[in-house]
Amino acid sequence: MVGIDGSFLAAGAVVSLGALIQSVTGFGFAMFAAPLLALVSPALVPVPILILTIVFTLGTVWEERR
């Protein structure tokens, strides 16, 4: 069985904190997560950040619809 390495845990922590910032302020996920994820693994920027930003934004739109 393959173990989880430190970079995977660091990326998960960065994305989680970025999502928290996005949910509290309404913006800031990419501003916070992109530079830190680039330090963890350059392959995680920019396409995965854009996909996650779209998912978070659509989730917010879905929850706030009326």
How does residue 15 score in pLDDT terms, banded at 50, 70 and 90?
very high
| pLDDT (tens digit per residue) in 16-27 | 999 999 888 888
Q: What is the pTM of this model?
A: 0.80
Contact (CB, 8 A) for 40 and 7 = yes
| pLDDT (tens digit per residue) in 18-56 | 999 988 888 889 999 999 999 988 888 999 999 998 998
